[in-house]
């Protein structure tokens, strides 16, 4: 059944890694490497069973293909999972054993931090392989990606305002920001810097207080965030918050935030479109973190990271134009843009250009 499953999702390669001494049970999934090496984080999670771990790694690696393709990066999509409880099953041996498997793929897969993994775990992985990003800054790492994700979200917002209202006057509109964590707080700061009206909510009361005291946001209760008369709803906490319960309550004209998987399902995406709201596809908007970490591959530079993050503005513009061209909702247009780029770039790489591969020595042999 595994071959059927991975053929259905078009994965290139799925690697099952085990090391009994280290207690390692991991799966690395390379979904698509047409554009470049498959980069994607390592997640450690106490999965209930192996099937659940496999499903997760297949779903997440496919998502990375689309994210990297839309971001304009020369990267494919991959992901890895370790089956285990991050609060008690971590060890040096575990991560070094994992690192050796990553190394055995010779750069087809590049790993990074994800849920359950921190920068210290990555140091052990780094001892066994160079195909690691998201390491500590002392090793040439890029550090906390959140400011880049927030800045990228602002770029996505400006493209959305431009498409919807014909101007990018961020300060003239109002915003409902759900979640003021690493990304949300910085996003609120950027909005308030331009004088925008901002409502915030968070389960963390201290964070809400900080947004009010430091940045002049207005606090509302957790559930109230869906009812405020904001022009833009900005989910920066959880996925699935645009759903059949919340959508009828939202008064916004734009949905643009950093959270992953904002739409509860595709039908909701269609409904958003029908209501005349503009949805800025989440994985295109929140690509700043991936862009930032990707620069570690050939030497991290903060200026380049900022410059690259600004391209999110153009990527969103392209998505909106594809949606208009093909009369499809924006969430579908993002997928189409990714597929078009993979197909086109894949094809221009097909003809042999003579500079790579073995040299042609046949005619000289007799001399
Ligand atoms: N950090 C990045 O660079 C990055 C990159 C891409 C995507 N994202 C996505 O953006 C979102 C935010 O990431 P982050 O790094 O800021 O995470 P974070 O954990 O720092 O912040 C999330 C915040 O949401 C709050 N929250 C949780 N449940 C809530 C609820 N029901 N209602 C209101 N607030 C709630 C938390 O208390 C927290 O303050 C996540 O969905 C993440 O997957 C982050």
* Predicted confidence (pLDDT) per residue in 8-43, tens digit: 889 999 999 999 999 999 999 999 999 999 999 999
CA distance 27 to 234: 34
Q: How confident is the model at residue 5 (pLDDT cuts 50, 70, 90)?
A: confident
Q: What is the C-alpha separation between 28 and 17, in angstroms, rounded?
A: 8
- The answer to whether residues 252 and 176 touch, using CB atoms and an 8 Å cutoff, is yes
> Higher confidence at residue 268 or residue 364?
268
Whether the pLDDT of residue 357 is over 80: the answer is: no
Catalytic position from the list 79, 90, 197, 332:
79
Place of tokens 């493209």: 159
Residue 362, number of CB atoms within 10 A of its CB = 7
Strand-pair partners of 13? 30
Give CA–CA dist 190/236, Å, rounded.
Answer: 14
Q: pLDDT (tens digit, 9 = 90+) per residue, 334-346?
A: 999 999 999 999 9
Q: How many Cβ atoms are within 10 Å of 310's Cβ, its own excluded? A: 15
% of the chain surpassing 70 pLDDT: 96
Whether 94 and 84 have beta carbons less than 8 Å apart is answered as yes
- Count of all residues that appear for the chain in the document: 367
Among protein residues, the one with the nearest Cα to ligand 1's atom 40 is 259
Q: What percentage of the chain's residues is helix, strand, coil (to nearest 5)?
A: 45, 15, 35
Collapsing DSSP to helix, strand or coil, 246 comes out as: coil
CA of residue 146 to ligand 1 center, whole Å: 10
Distance 3 CA to ligand 1 centre (A): 35
Q: Which residue has the higher pLDDT, 13 or 140?
A: 13
Give CA–CA dist 164/320, Å, rounded: 10
Question: Distance from first CA to last CA of the chain, Å, rounded?
Answer: 56
Pairwise CA distance, residues 352 & 337, whole Å: 26
Question: Which residues lie closer than 8 Å to 53 by C-beta, 6 or more apart?
Answer: 27, 45, 47, 81, 83
CA 47 to ligand 1 centroid distance, Å: 22
Ligand 1: which of 119, 182, 228, 294 to mutate, most ligand atoms within 8 Å of CB?
182
pLDDT at 143: 85
Q: Average pLDDT for residues 204-214, to the nearest whole number?
A: 98
Measured in Å, residue 183 CA sits from the centre of ligand 1 at: 7
Which two three-digit tokens encode residue 261? 């998987």
Rg, Å, the chain Cα set: 22
Residue 115 Cβ < 6 Å to ligand 1: no
Enclosing H/E stretch for 191: helix 182-193
Identify the burial level of 104 via C-beta atoms within 10 angstroms of its C-beta, where 0-12 means exposed, 13-18 middle and 19 or more buried. Answer: middle
Residue for token pair 């109002």: 174
Q: What is the mean pLDDT of residues 87-101?
A: 98
48 is catalytic: no
What local confidence, expressed as pLDDT, does residue 299 receive?
87
Distance 114 CA to ligand 1 centre (A): 13
What is the average pLDDT across 97-106? Answer: 98
Ligand 1 contacts CB of residue 149 (under 6 A): yes
Residue 253 has pLDDT above 70, yes or no: yes
Q: Which DSSP symbol is given to 345?
A: H
Distance of CA 237 from the midpoint of ligand 1 (Å)? 4
Q: Whose CA is nearest to atom 38 of ligand 1?
A: 181
Give the model's pLDDT for residue 350.
78
- pLDDT confidence of 151, banded at 50, 70, 90? very high
The arithmetic mean of pLDDT across residues 277-289, rounded, is: 97
3-state secondary structure of 135: coil
Residue nearest atom 18 in ligand 1 by C-alpha distance = 181
Q: Which amino acid residue places its CA nearest to atom 13 of ligand 1?
A: 183
pLDDT value at residue 349: 80
Decide: 260 in ligand 1 pocket, CB within 6 A: yes
Confidence band, pLDDT 50/70/90 cuts, at residue 165: very high
Query: Across all residues in the chain, what is the average pLDDT?
Result: 95
Of 143, 154, 179, 201, the one to substitute when testing ligand 1's pocket (max ligand atoms within 8 A of C-beta) is 179
Angstrom CA distances, 152 to 51, 62, 112, stand at 35, 22, 20
Q: Tokens for 85?
A: 């409880």
Residue 356's pLDDT is what? 60
């Amino acid at each position: 059944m595994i071959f059927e499953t991975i053929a259905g999702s078009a994965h290139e390669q799925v690697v099952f890694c085990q090391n009994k001494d280290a207690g390692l049970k991991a799966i690395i999934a390379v979904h698509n490497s047409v554009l470049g090496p498959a980069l994607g984080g390592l997640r450690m999670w106490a999965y209930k069973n192996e099937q659940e771990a496999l499903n997760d790694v297949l779903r997440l690696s496919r998502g990375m293909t689309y994210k990297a393709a839309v971001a304009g990066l020369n990267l494919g999509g991959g992901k890895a999972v370790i089956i285990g409880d991050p609060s008690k099953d971590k060890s040096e041996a575990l991560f070094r054993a994992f690192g050796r498997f990553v190394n055995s793929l010779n750069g087809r897969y590049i790993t990074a931090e994800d849920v359950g993994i921190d920068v210290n775990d990555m140091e052990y992985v780094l001892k066994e392989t160079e195909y690691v990003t998201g390491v500590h800054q002392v090793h040439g790492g890029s550090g906390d990606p959140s400011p880049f994700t927030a800045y990228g979200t602002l770029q996505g917002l400006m493209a959305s305002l431009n498409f919807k209202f014909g101007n990018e006057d961020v300060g003239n509109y109002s915003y409902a920001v759900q979640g003021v964590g690493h990304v949300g707080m910085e996003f609120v700061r950027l909005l308030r810097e331009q004088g925008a009206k901002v409502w915030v909510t968070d389960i963390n009361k201290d964070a809400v207080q900080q947004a009010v005291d430091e940045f002049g946001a207005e606090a509302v209760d957790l559930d109230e965030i869906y009812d405020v008369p904001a022009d833009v709803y900005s989910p920066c906490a959880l996925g699935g918050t645009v759903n059949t319960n919340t959508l009828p309550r939202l008064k916004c004209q734009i949905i643009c935030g950093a959270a992953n998987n904002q739409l509860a399902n595709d039908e909701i995406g269609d409904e958003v479109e029908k209501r005349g709201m503009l949805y800025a596809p989440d994985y295109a908007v929140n690509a700043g973190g991936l862009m930032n970490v990707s620069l570690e591959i050939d030497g991290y530079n903060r200026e380049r990271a900022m410059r690259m993050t600004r391209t999110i503005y153009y990527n969103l513009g392209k998505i909106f134009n594809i949606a208009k061209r093909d009369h499809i909702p924006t969430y579908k247009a993002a997928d189409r843009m990714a597929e078009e780029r993979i197909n086109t770039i894949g094809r221009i790489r097909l003809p042999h250009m003579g500079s790579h591969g073995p040299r042609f020595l046949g005619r000289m042999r007799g001399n």
